[in-house]
Structure 1
Amino acid sequence: MNRWLKYSLLILAGILVFLFVFGLYQFRDRHKGYDLNLSLQNEGTAGLSAGFAIADISPVGYDTWQDVNGDAEYNEEEGDYYNDLNQNGKFDPIWLAGFQQNRPASGINDPLWARAMVLDNGQIKFALCVIDMIGFGNDEVVSLRKKILEQTDLDHLIITSTHVHSSPDMMGMWGPGPFTRGVDDHYKSLVFEGITASVLEAYENRKPAYLKFAINESDAAPLVGDTRAPKVYDAAIRLMQVMEMGTDKTLGTIMNWGNHPETLWADNTLVSSDFPHYWREYMEKGIVYNDSIYHKGLGGVSIFLNGALGGLMTTRPSDPVIHPYTQDTLKAATVEKIDAQGLALAKISFETMAQGMDTVYQSNLAIRAKTVPLPMKNKLFRLASFIGVFDRGFMSWGNVRSEVNVWKLGPATFVHIPGELYPEILNGGVEAPEGADFGIAPVEVPAIKSVMPGKYKFFSGMANDMIGYIVPKSQWDEKPPFTYGRETAPYGEVNSLGPETAPILHRETLKLLNDLSKTSATLEKN
């Protein structure tokens, strides 16, 4: 008996040692020693060169399938079958991110893109690349940043995602089941190549440029719904048009608005960038309807920069989209609906630009960027990292590496935060409802936008990382009694790192903005 007990204890000890060593490996820091602390500004105002480029990052060479019962989940027992396109006798799908697991792609509705802009004022050169993905982790961003900065004399690179819910899984959590990673390594390499190619081409495409800005505060509000109290939106469309000096041709256009690109909803199995595809296409090619030209295309490269969409900004099947020319009401989650949504956004954008834009020929450029450790309190996220569903380590025990970026260009300020920010943190309106878990006054005050310098205030979520929802701590609500009279917990916290995420990111963002404001004011005086 003693011998068996001894053997059992030795086996148990061996298992515990293995799990400990395995855990250390899984949670290892992928970029040990990397600590971003960037402060760049040019002396006075200067002219600008800008370049734009795109690269197709649509998945190719993967098996498709037939969804016999239309439930958007692959199940051979229910009659679903795959098309063995590579003739290897097994199902080689690409798994779509967002909504439920086990949702393989059955085809492609529209291409996915990496769309890049490079700005160069003679003293500072930096790139912004936006990809049609649900998210892109900071470890991947840092890997690409190191590589691309080594190949060029760029000072900085920002990579952000549109957060589309009909794109391949790049995070890991939308595979065939809860314990199987959904990222295809070959496709991940294709995305890396697309980002690199678009940035390098944009770098080579630089031409002398000037800027035009406009904003529409409210006309896009009917195109987005808020599914969680308090009802606060990021409804403004913010526009930056980059023009070639001398020819007045459009090099590129930044369109910034906050909404989940998930209008196609959970039953869709086609790869798509959702409404951003149509918005970008109409901006570039123009609006032609019934043989009438309503708006001429701008040309160049249109880039959709998503905003504050936590809380949760979306267009559900119950949220109607009104076709701006036929006035038809579209509710069902169809391609026609996302086309009409993109068309409506383009119409608002064109009309806003036609009402007048601020033109800037000389501007100052300043950038601040900082690594921010964030505690991963979410036990499911930790488990996913441990078993390899997430490929993510700690920079210090329990803390993932993330970052905040802010930059100012003339009358515009851009803030980039690494997840789905609740709009009340950006625009104001954080509440302390009865029933919240912590029973505290609002922490994330003042509103980020109130501290941003300049007339035009652009905000980008899912930037340089994807950490999930960024919930105001005073509204955190996992335990009963629930806030706003709910009988169950609201959606959001389950896909958040934890309750300290919002206070930390808010604090670090305000620090960078305050420093940016002081420096910019000094330079403008001189």
Structure 2
Amino acid sequence: MKVIKTIGISLLVVITLICVYGYINMRDRHPGYRTDLIIENRKPGVMRAGFAAVSITPEYMEPWNDTDNNARYEPEKGDTYEDLNGNGKFDTHWIAGFGNKVAARGVHDDLWARTMVLDDGTTRLALVAMDVIGMFHPMVIDIRKMVPEEAGITYLVIASTHTHEGPDLLGLWGESPFRSGVNKEWKEYVKRQVVQSVLKAVEAMRPAYFRFSQNLTEGRVTIKDTREPYVFDEGLRMMQVTDAETSETLGTLIQWGNHPETLWSRNLLISSDFPHYLREVVEKGVYHGDNIIRKGVGGIALYVNGAVGGLMTTHASMEVVDPFRDTVYVEPSFDKIRAQGDTLGLIILRTMEEKAVEIREAGINLRAKTFDLPLRNRLFRLAAAIGIMDADMTGWMKKRTEAAVWSIGPASFITFPGELYPEIVNGGVVALPGRDFPVDPQEAPPLRDMMQGTFRFGIGLANDEIGYIIPKSQWDVKKPYVYRDRPYYGEQNSLGPETAPLLYEELRQLLKELPGKPY
């Protein structure tokens, strides 16, 4: 009996410790934090704008030997590393997006926190475009609290480009599925660098004019939709900001919907993928050797992603035609992303030159709100409980997140905290026989139909990364499957089937409440 009693007490202690550990990991890291903004500008005028680019590139990683050349660090198969600092452990950065054990071997191009600050005299809006796979909402709140009050930021948006060739910042792609891939020192460094980027953009503010342009037909080049129904967010949308006194470009915001993963799964060099070359082209121009083909506009270019669910990708089997070298790239390579950047850059620069609408006076109308979403995904729950994911729970399996809408002159913007399926923003949600839920499309009409103005930007992975946001009538995890004989990838990486209709309703309401009238 004494032995049984001892075993029982020991089990109770273990269970208690596990529960406490899970509670600590899933606790609300920012109790009471809520955003609820409604701001209207009734007196348009000459606004001010500032841009900055601050590197977030990791500076230290140890070389390693990939014995079987499978792009995975597997010491059990003979892979070894050089312990350069003599601390007895492998100091690396785990590349996010293509499974576990992908250890970086070096850096191909810098990762950036690129910031645009806009000020109409009443509201100071900051948008940071980050070269990371994504970041959870608690990290966004941490950064907001780090920005000094004297910076005067009314609202800060941090949007991830979603590069699959940068270090893990979510925790899901570490050495094993049960070990976080986040380098904690680098994570803190990223926070500090984002703050510096915001402060530098504030310091650089100048009176500014805006030149809006868009190309809604040519952007499908180099995109493949890997899930039916085939719907894209292929529109290229640009906001060029120029100095009101010198006419020089301060910066350019570019929005397009595609996964930055053209380098694919065997790349071991840290990179922002195609956004690197795309931004270079917009800033510095398109070159063929030493010959310039088209001049860039200067300034600092920001790339923000759109609705990439579905998923939108330049698949490893997809051709990218080099616009100058009479070469077609299929295998993933840096030449392939250079050709992709050149191709897109040429379209963007031509569109900006030929189809821009200039606005000299404008104001910011803004609506932003915090809300909760249910966390139904069991794997996500486990990851949160064991500390791999920063859950930021506000209640039992309720995750805090955020969305915003704003307008500037003839342009309106929506932000969504993950990988939205394009049919939710552009239309085309279906409800076919065999679907898991016998419901009609819940996410209709499409969000862009409810937006103001001519230029309608949709910014994804903004202020959070909640995974795929799938129309409920297209949720498909039960047999018989609608389109093929096995489940799709999206549902495995989604909070759950209620995410899309709940987020859609929040955005619909925000658009309805957005101050101002259609331009």
How many angstroms apart in 2 are the aligned matches of 1:208 and 1:233?
36
Residue 21 of structure 1 and its aligned partner are, at CA, apart by: 2.5
Q: 1:363 maps to what in 2?
A: 362
**CA–CA distance in 2 between the matches of 1:389 and 1:468?**
15
List aligned pairs for 1:113-192, cutoff 5 A.
113-148=112-147, 150-192=149-191
Structure 2 counterpart of 1:100: 99
Q: Aligned partners of 1:191 and 1:231: how far apart in 2?
A: 36
Answer whether contact 2:296 2:349 (CA < 8 A) is retained. no
- The whole-number CA distance in structure 1 between the counterparts of 2:84 and 2:347 is 42
Cα deviation, 1:122-165, whole Å, max 9, x if unaligned, reads 11111111110000110010111122153421111111100000
Q: Which AA in structure 1 matches 2:498?
A: E
- The C-alpha deviation readout for 1:326-380, integer Å capped at 9, x for no partner, is 2421100000000000110100001112223100001121111100101110000
The corresponding residue for 1:31 is: 30
Could you give the per-residue CA deviations for residues 367-402 of structure 1, whole angstroms, max 9, x where no partner exists? Answer: 111001011100001101111111323111111110
Listed one character per residue, the Cα deviations across residues 168-200 of structure 1 (whole Å, up to 9, x for unaligned) are: 100001100011111111100111111011000
Contact 1:136 1:161 in 2 (8 A): yes
Equivalent residue in structure 2 for 1:499, among 497, 500, 509 = 497
1:84 & 1:366 partners in 2: Cα distance?
Answer: 54
Q: CA deviation at 1:76?
A: 2.7
**8 Å CA contact 2:61, 2:105 repeated in 1:** no
Aligned to 2:55: 56
Mapped to 2, the partners of 1:397 and 1:150 lie a distance apart of 33
- Give, in angstroms, the shift of residue 508 of structure 1: 0.2
Aligned twin of 1:336: 335
Corresponding residue for 1:449? 448
Letter in 2 for 1:49: R
Indicate whether 1:514 and 2:512 are aligned.
yes
Q: Deviations over 1:296-335 (max 9, x none)?
A: 1211100001000000000111111111122421100000
State the partner residue of 1:424: 423
Q: Report what 1:467 is aligned to.
A: 466
**Structure-1 separation of matches of 2:507 and 2:63:** 43
Aligned to 1:239: 238
Whichever residue aligns with residue 114 of structure 1, its letter is: A
Structure 2 equivalent of residue 194 of structure 1: 193
Equivalent residue number for residue 482 of structure 2: 483
- Distance in 2 between residues matched to 1:509 and 1:216, nearest whole Å: 25
**Is the 2:23–2:385 contact (alpha carbons within 8 Å) kept by the matching residues of 1?**
no
My pick for the range that moved more, 290-299 or 25-34, is 290-299
Name the stretch that deviates more: 17-26 or 162-171: 17-26
Alpha-carbon contact 1:417-1:460 (below 8 Å) kept = yes
Q: Deviations over 1:48-73 (max 9, x none)?
A: 00000010110012212232322110
Q: Distance in 2 between matches of 1:208 and 1:167?
A: 35
* Separation (CA, whole Å) in 1 of partners of 2:89 and 2:15: 36
The separation in 1 between residues aligned to 2:5 and 2:184, in whole angstroms, is 44
SS in 2 for 1:127: strand
What is residue 219 of structure 2 aligned with on the other side? 220
| Aligned-pair CA distance for 1:19 | 2.6
The alpha-carbon distance between structure 1 residues 20 and 75, as it changes in their structure 2 partners (threshold 3 A), is closer
SS of equivalent to 2:24: helix
How far apart, CA to CA, are the structure 1 residues paired with 2:415 and 2:126? Answer: 13
Q: Shift of residue 292 of structure 1?
A: 2.9
Could you tell me which residue of structure 2 aligns to residue 18 of structure 1? Answer: 17
1:228-272 residue CA offsets vs partner (Å, 9 max, x unmatched)? 000000011001000001211000001110000000000111100
Alpha-carbon distance between aligned partners in 2 of 1:144 and 1:461, rounded to the nearest angstrom: 19
Structure 1: gaps spanning 5 or more residues: none
The SS at the match of 2:239 is strand
C-alpha separation in 1, matches of 2:63 and 2:482: 43
Does the residue aligned with 2:175 lie in a helix, a strand or coil? coil
Q: Report Cα offsets for 1:476-503 as digits up to 9, x if no partner.
A: 011111012x110111000001111101
| 2-structure distance, mates of 1:255, 1:66 | 39
SS in 2 for 1:223: coil
TM normalised by structure 1 equals: 0.96
Specify the code of the residue in structure 1 equivalent to 2:154: D
- Contact 1:55/1:195 (8 A) holds in 2: yes
Report the 3-state secondary structure (helix = DSSP H, G, I; strand = E; otherwise coil) of the residue aligned with 1:426. helix
Q: TM-score, normalised by structure 2?
A: 0.98
Alpha-carbon separation, structure 2, partners of 1:46 and 1:69: 62
Aligned-partner Cα distance in 2 for 1:404–1:158: 9
Contact 1:133 1:163 in 2 (8 A): yes
Task: Say if 1:66 and 1:106, in contact at 8 Å, map to a contact too.
Answer: no
Q: Which amino acid aligns with 2:502?
A: I
* Residue 108 (structure 2) aligns with: 109
Structure 1 residue 417, shift from structure 2 partner: 0.4
Tell me whether 71-80 or 222-231 shows the greater mean CA deviation.
71-80
SS in structure 2 opposite 1:366?
strand
Q: Which runs of 5+ in 2 are unaligned?
A: none
Is 1:149–1:155's contact at 8 Å kept on the other side of the alignment? Answer: no
Maintained 8 Å contact 2:30/2:392: no
One-letter amino acid matched to 2:436: D
Does the CA-based 8 Å contact 1:225-1:315 persist in structure 2?
yes
Q: 2:192 and 2:279 mapped to 1: Cα distance?
A: 22
- Following superposition, the deviation at residue 9 of structure 1 comes to 3.1
Q: Partners of 1:452 and 1:106 in 2: how far apart? A: 44
Between the aligned partners of 1:358 and 1:18, the Cα distance in structure 2 is: 61
Q: Specify the code of the residue in structure 2 equivalent to 1:494.
A: Q
Q: Distance in 1 between matches of 2:11 and 2:276?
A: 55
Judging changes above 3 Å, is the alpha-carbon distance between structure 1 residues 88 and 13 closer, same or farther for their aligned structure 2 residues?
A: closer
* Structure 1 residue 509, shift from structure 2 partner: 0.3
Query: Whole-Å Cα distance in 2 between the matches of residues 408 and 77 of structure 1?
Result: 55
1:301 maps to which residue?
A: 300
2:452/2:517 contact within 8 Å kept:
no
Question: 1:214·1:238 contact (CA, 8 Å) conserved in 2?
Answer: yes
Displacement, 1:203? Answer: 0.4
% of aligned pairs identical?
A: 45
Residue range with higher mean Cα deviation, 282-291 or 233-242: 282-291
* 2:491 alignment partner AA: E
**Which range moved further: 324-333 or 491-500?**
324-333
CA shift for structure 1 position 291: 3.6
Separation in 2, partners of 1:88, 1:24: 32
